[in-house]
Structure 1
């Protein structure tokens, strides 16, 4: 029954997407599954634009300015519809209506499996991730609620007085859920996690599957089922880090890839999801903008995936080869061959320049993470379908292999092999080799982290799996129909039952390698291990406002969960996250409460800090005290002559500075 608490925040999150995204889709006169394809990224593009605009016009962050921008955007699109081009509508209205609901139903198949796995992993609807970055992400939501600003250019939570750029679209989304429902920040965060993982991602997966394998019903259903077949994404990433913005950006990546395929006219993308020429560009730019403001390294993932398709299209243009027409047949383009060649050459040059710049300027600091496997073992991880995770998903791997064979036989789809190989290569480099300059050159944009690179592999494998599973169904279907006709009293009912069993088999096959990913999520949210915040500490924080007046700032140690005083109790702390650039006097205060009372009193008076939280020395990392020695002396506070105990829950203590 506890999970009922998540219903309202989840419904609010879905309604935010629908209310902000549907006006643009309807203004563009879209029908069928194209409505969902455009509405989802449009909603987040509107949110992203709103986060940038609202501070300049002096409006606090809420749904109202976002709704206003959504209406203005829809009005502009309606006025410009003549120049954007008319969508190609080859089917009747009833067929297009059915296409939308079949697509959403297919997404719900995979989304339901993902949602169940997430619920099992989290354990409770208000669970808090027991990971290093949880302090930052939950506190950033509170920062937006308190300041009324979600601008990515004005974030100063960890750099007080020095605002800088940080992609805060995830946190702005969660803040809206809190505002609309009154949910706690952990509850709203988990609602957003469920929605982006079990709604946004499966819809994108269905769109991507249709774009490479065609618009048939069985391709649509297969794509939805396979959205839950890869444990590395989104399940594993939901518990790792915890890097909510990275996961969020990757759930938007399929929409960007589908728009790219539409623009490049590759595969059946244009026939599967008919869009007007102008709408293709709007989808591409909107999905790109939203994804980048969710997390900028989605650019690198998109470039790695799209490099081979772009080069393939350029090669065809240089040779003046025919292209796919609206009917799916090859036709000779109207553009003059010389112009095609010039455009292709310029496109290749632009791609090389942009990719080089992205890799140079998008390098993160050289993290010390080594590859966990050697080259051979990392390759086996890839072949087994669960890179970096224990266990293998051989059935899914065989389906992907079948899809790869089909893509190779079909010249128009060979680029899929290049996209899959590029992402697999990046993972192999990160997990198969020790830290080095050449390794950083390839995987630096992802902090040299094999786990982040492993989460990209499904984006190359999914289209191949859709091809393979769709082909397998096409081969099995005649036999199943014959069996139903000869052996059953009600052939049609039996055929549907067998089709249902086939879907269940595909779902079960996809869960074969998910146990280790599920265990990772469970460990990441297990409050019994209390890597960040145990039950006693959370109980103390949830009643902190009874003893600490509004407006007070609490001294704390960011190596444990005391930083969450801000997110849970709306009481600011000196150190909302471990990393940051804080007032030197704050470090003086937490370092001298026991050893130098006079210095502590001076710092306390300067900062106006009268309360201290002591959550002990069970830090988020074993060696955290050595890595951040500035917090090493914030311990044994019961010996300080300055402090008086105000509240206690187990070993978690709230002190007041009374001895100055």
Structure 2
């Protein structure tokens, strides 16, 4: 298979992408005053904010997006952050820093170990499911992201509508593109193919969520044991991450989901100390969530609303003053966010009211089933995580001991209620309410699982605290003959180790199998029946060797060859499986390409798009009945020549291109054409 990689290559690809994600954010965050765990946790989100703002603004200025322009923009972001930080520490702008509850050095090391362990476990699960880092997703969504990344890298078009032209080439379709812009930087480094770029980022997502949890607990003054436990539990539930890697995969959504807790981190810092530097970090966090995916900002709001409510409730005697001050601070941040991210905001609003059809998803469960899915951390995969459920029960029982993080329970209730509504109802109200997430139960159950993970981690942490307190009353410990700190650390290891055993190795086998099904379609897969088989991928590479810059290829929207641009570098008439709002040119060619010799509309369209090749695959995404008639039975047609074939795919060269003004050749067979597709 052309995407095969070696362990050394995999390690290098993962390390490079990790640096691309972390280094820009670390530089901006450090300049803005972030330190320690908060700096590390916020770094990926700040990187996406930098990329997500840089691409559209460069496009507005007529400057191509690429490694060079991204680095120059990064220097500007760092300079602005440093200047804002300087102002915030001097004169009337100065505000005192909010101190963190100290963790012992061993606590920091333990949390670091848990984050690293979680990242390794999550990465192992994903890589085991992929089998190899260059595996090609068999889902519906990945091809759009893959083609979009290559489009940005090759054209430098960082606008919020540019990459949509890979499929809707005669329309402006908005899609938030921070995910693709950062991935394009990684791709331009030149060490990996597009499938490897996609999968490397996917492999890093569990670690990003683990790091986000650690930063959240740190910001809200939680214990180190809770931070470590939450990091480990972040990579366990199938419904949180791995189901959406199988189905879709919903890649920008998953990145946004992993970063969602950081919105609450930035908001709490800003409201506790409303200064220019904390305000800048909050604006960048909000913009980062928005530019990764529009729904992520809404998810971040849902996640943080209970935090605001708890903040105002505990204010008591000065509640109105706190609410008024917070309102003014949020208004200022909102104005700044609109100013810097207006193209994303108005693009998202235009998409909601645009022509793309919104049909939603059918309800999938009754009320008991939906609630059961939440409590057992399962969804489409029928494997209840009983060990995680037991931890959740303990977390709910000890919820009052969450302290400044008690609001997480309300977040779980809020997100869980939305999942239950979407899973059980097809009402117009529910569909309207859930439109930012396309009324998709998979997305809602993932969103609900995130705060539930924190509650389950709290259950494990409180188990350790309970055992610690009981032992503290025993005579050897109370008398000081046995140091307490090592005992507490040992208890944490016992609790987390016991959970790992009870969960059959953190459910890694189930999760890896779930990922596998999205890339290989189950055990014993017939590779010839895959959406994109190894042979089809090889044909795409062969086409890339033969085509000249600017050449396009005719293809079937439904046979997997929509991946041709991402893999082989040749633009195709159909760049996505999505058949909604099909361009007029694509509709004409899809229906009547094989009539090229006598159809003037086909001749003119082929010439205008510079269609010089045809690629046809054997597999397919939907049913064969949806195949496009214009590219069926091409062998023997006089205007094309077969230049490459394997068991899975064929590549043809178009032998002659008609001048767009040329009439149909005299004596051509008479055809009874139906009406042309609507423009």
Given the two structures, how large is their TM-score scaled by the length of structure 1?
0.84
Note if 1:68 corresponds to 2:68: no
Write out per-residue CA displacement over residues 520-561 of structure 1, whole angstroms, 9 at most, x where no aligned residue: 311111174543211111111122233333321110112122
Tell me the CA shift for residue 309 of structure 1: 3.2
SS at match of 1:71: helix
1:636 match: 633
Q: C-alpha separation between the residues in 1 aligned to 2:609 and 2:219? A: 58
Number of positions where the alignment pairs a residue of Structure 1 with one of Structure 2: 620
After superposition, the Cα gap between the structure-2 partners of 1:312 and 1:18, relative to the gap in structure 1 and judged at 3 Å, is closer
Q: Please give the secondary structure, in 1, of the residue aligned with 2:653.
A: strand
Q: Specify the SS of the correspondent of 2:598.
A: helix
Are the aligned partners of 1:365 and 1:444 in contact in 2 as well (CA < 8 Å)? no
Match of 1:271 in 2: none
For 2:350 and 2:597, how far apart are their aligned partners in 1?
48
Tell whether 2:125 aligns with 1:134: no
Instruction: Name 2:576's counterpart in structure 1.
Output: 577
Alignment CA distance shift 1:204-1:509 (3 Å): farther
Q: Structure 2 vs 1, CA of residues 288 and 601 (structure 1 numbering), >3 Å: closer, same or farther?
A: same
Q: Compute the displacement of 1:116 (Å).
A: 0.8
Query: In 2 relative to 1, CA 51–105 (structure 1 residues): closer, same or farther, beyond 3 Å?
Result: farther
**Cα distance between partner residues in 2 of 1:125 and 1:360:** 36
Partner of 1:284: 282
Match of 2:668 in 1: none
Q: 1:177 aligns with which of 186, 202, 225?
A: 186
Distance 1:100 1:38 in 2: 17
Match of 2:154 in 1: 146
Give 2:496's aligned residue: 503
Is residue 142–residue 251 contact of structure 2 (8 Å, CA) maintained in 1? Answer: no
Aligned in 2, Cα 1:495/1:526: closer, same or farther, shift over 3 Å? same
What is residue 302 of structure 1 aligned with on the other side?
Answer: 300
| Partner Cα distance (2:7, 2:376) in 1 | 35
Task: Give the Cα separation in 1 of the matches to 2:382 and 2:465.
Answer: 32
Three-state SS of the structure 1 residue aligned to 2:18 is helix
CA distance in 1, matches of 2:216, 2:543: 48
**Which segments of 5 or more consecutive residues in structure 1 lack a partner in the other structure?**
266-274, 323-332
Map Cα deviations across residues 239-263 of structure 1 (whole Å, 9 max, x no partner): 2212211111112111112223445
Contact 1:365 1:447 in 2 (8 A): no
Taking the aligned partners of 1:284 and 1:174, their CA distance within structure 2 comes to 23
Once residues 495 and 206 of structure 2 are traced to their aligned partners in structure 1, the CA distance between those partners, rounded to angstroms, is: 21
Q: Which secondary structure state, in structure 2, belongs to the residue aligned with residue 598 of structure 1?
A: coil
User: What is the CA distance between 1:636 and its match in structure 2?
Assistant: 1.6
Match of 1:620 in 2: 621
Q: Secondary structure at the residue paired with 2:185?
A: helix
Whether the aligned pair in 2 keeps the contact of 1:558 and 1:576 (CA below 8 Å) is: yes
Report whether the alignment pairs 1:217 with 2:208.
no
Shift of 1:501: 4.2
Task: Give the superposition deviation at 1:407.
Answer: 2.1
CA separation of 1:394 and 1:261: change in aligned 2, threshold 3 A: farther
The residue that corresponds to 1:588 in the other structure is: 588
What is the Cα-based RMSD across aligned positions, in Å? Answer: 3.7
Offset at residue 5 of structure 1 (A): 1.8
Which residue pairs with 2:341 in the alignment?
none
* Cα separation, 2, equivalents of 1:169 and 1:371: 31
State the shift of 1:375 in Å. Answer: 1.5
Q: Which residue of 2 aligns with 1:111?
A: 119
TM-score with structure 2 setting the length: 0.82
Say whether the 8 Å CA contact 1:315–1:344 is kept in structure 2: no
What's the offset of the Cα at 1:152? 1.8
Is this contact kept in 2: 1:536–1:652, CA < 8 A? yes
- Tell me the distance in 2 between the aligned counterparts of 1:374 and 1:97: 49
**1:46 paired residue number:** 50
Equivalent residue for 1:465?
456
Instruction: State the distance in 2 between where 1:375 and 1:478 align.
Output: 40
CA separation of 1:85 and 1:106: change in aligned 2, threshold 3 A: farther
**Deviation of 1:208 (Å):** 2.2
Q: Is the 8 A contact 1:106 1:221 kept in 2?
A: yes
Deviates more, 1:591-600 or 1:494-503: 494-503
Counterpart Cα distance in 2 of 1:296 and 1:429? 21
Q: Report SS of the residue matched to 1:575.
A: coil
Contact 2:360 2:431 in 1 (8 A): no
1:360, distance to aligned residue in structure 2 (A): 11
Structure 2: distance between partners of 1:543 and 1:483: 76
Query: Contact 1:158–1:577 at 8 Å: present in 2 too?
Result: yes
Structure 1: how far apart are the matches of 2:43 and 2:454? 22
Matched, 1:519 2:513: yes
Q: Which shows bigger deviation, 449-458 or 55-64?
A: 55-64
Asked whether the 8 Å contact 1:312–1:415 carries over to 2, the reply is yes
Answer yes or no: is the 8 Å Cα contact 1:142–1:175 preserved in 2: yes
Moved more, 409-418 or 367-376: 409-418
Query: Which residue number in structure 1 is paired with residue 597 of structure 2?
Result: 597
Per-residue deviation at 1:470? 1.1
Q: 1:276 to 1:202 in 2, by over 3 A?
A: farther
Deviations 1:633-657 (A, max 9, x none): 4212225343321100114111122
Is 1:242 the counterpart of 2:239 in the alignment?
A: no
Q: Structure 2 CA distance, aligned partners of 1:132 and 1:341?
A: 45
1:446 corresponds to 2:460: no
Q: What pairs up with 1:64-103 in 2 under 5 angstroms?
A: 64-81=68-85, 82=89, 83=93, 85-89=95-99, 102-103=110-111
Residue 294 of structure 1: CA displacement? 0.7
- Gaps of at least 5 residues in structure 2 are 338-345, 658-679
Secondary structure class of the residue paired with 2:614:
strand
- Comparing 144-153 with 110-119, greater Cα deviation is found at 144-153
Aligned to 2:195: 186
For 1:431 and 1:369, locate their aligned partners in 2 and report how far apart those are by CA, in whole Å.
9
Structure 2 residue 1 is matched with structure 1 residue 2: no
Residues 191-210 of structure 1 aligned to structure 2 (within 5 Å)? 191-195=200-204, 197-210=205-218
Q: Is 1:121 paired with 2:125? A: no
Contact 2:122 2:207 in 1 (8 A): no
Distance 1:230 1:584, change over 3 A: same
- Indicate the residue corresponding to 1:562 in structure 2: 561
Give distance in 2, aligned partners of 1:643 and 1:423: 55
CA distance in structure 1 between the partners assigned to 2:155 and 2:149 by the alignment? 10
For residues 186 and 255 of structure 2, what CA distance do their matches in structure 1 show? 15
Asked if structure 1 preserves the Cα contact closer than 8 Å seen for 2:54 and 2:70, the reply is yes
Q: 1:306–1:602: structure 2 CA closer, same or farther, 3 Å change rule?
A: closer
Q: In the alignment, which residue of structure 2 is the partner of 1:607?
A: 609
Mapping for residues 405-444 of structure 1, pairs under 5 Å:
405-408=397-400, 414-433=406-425, 435-444=426-435
Q: Aligned pair 1:15/2:19, yes or no?
A: yes
